[in-house]
Amino acid sequence: METVKFTAMKDGDKEDYDFLTHHEAEYTKGTADRLLTALVSLDESLSGYQITRLGHSLQSATRAERDGADTDWIVSTLLHDIGDIFAPYNHDEYAATILKPFVREQCVWVVEKHGDFQMIYFGEHVGADPHKRDAYKGHPYFDDCATFCERWDQASFDPAYDTLPLDHFRARVHEVFARTPYDPAVIRAGEREPLTA
């Protein structure tokens, strides 16, 4: 069997869907490599900053690692702007969706909201509300997102910084995307790990 027999989903039988499930399992093993390739394509995106979006992603992740943050933080930080490629108007939500089955809830929330939190730094210059983050006041992860933005995201546009290369992070990305999706022991709902050691 090389393809399913059906041309409309409702006509598929057990054999067809067993076949597809096997194919899907094989395909998902390539997620980490596909994401690493996508990150490289961020190098070509038009930014206007002094460094590329890939450079920014690597620099943010480098700062996270040097702060002593754990793997969930480092990989989430590396991928936090990957949505820039296909979702320029909600790049934060896009990245959070990719990470959601594989990293701690805390990191997913921070990546999802980082666009709103970043407004504090430049909202006034682009006609946006600098205090957009105030809508989340009192949220258990509010301070984590504020720290993420201050220490790792807004600070990482410096071409002179000693940024680690993508190869340095490759094994960590593979480790994260090889996890069992939505494993409660990974998601750890409501639990917080510090951003700095």
**65/81 with CB nearer Fe ion:** 81
**What span, in angstroms and rounded, lies between the C-alpha atoms of 39 and 59?**
13
Residues 114-129 as b/e (b if ≥16 CB within 10 A, e otherwise) read bbbbbbbeebeeeeee
Task: Check: CB of residue 78 under 8 Å from CB of residue 61.
Answer: yes
Binding span for Fe ion by CB under 5 A among 21-29, 149-157, 167-175, 188-196: 149-157
**16/43 with CB nearer Fe ion:** 43
Query: Cβ contacts of residue 44 below 8 Å, gap of 6+?
Result: 52
**31/47 with CB nearer Fe ion:** 47
- Report the residue from 72, 81, 105, 144 that binds Fe ion according to the rule CB under 5 A: 81
Binding span for Fe ion by CB under 5 A among 6-14, 123-131, 150-158, 173-181: 150-158
**71/76 with CB nearer Fe ion:** 76
CA 183 from centroid of its chain's CA atoms? 18
Task: Tell me if residue 38 falls in helix, strand or coil.
Answer: helix
Nearest to 176 by CA among 87, 61, 88, 89: 61
Q: Please give the backbone phi and psi of residue 79, each rounded to the nearest 5 degrees, phi first.
A: -100, 5
Task: Check: CB of residue 39 under 8 Å from CB of residue 81.
Answer: no
Query: Cβ contacts of residue 85 below 8 Å, gap of 6+?
Result: 38, 41, 42, 45
**61/173 with CB nearer Fe ion:** 61
Binding span for Fe ion by CB under 5 A among 12-20, 96-104, 152-160, 162-170: 152-160
144 binds Fe ion (CB under 5 A): no
116 binds Fe ion (CB under 5 A): no
Closest approach, Cβ 104 to Fe ion, in A, equals 19
Closest approach, Cβ 41 to Fe ion, in A, equals 16
Closest approach, Cβ 49 to Fe ion, in A, equals 10
* Contact set with Fe ion (CB under 5 A): 81, 153
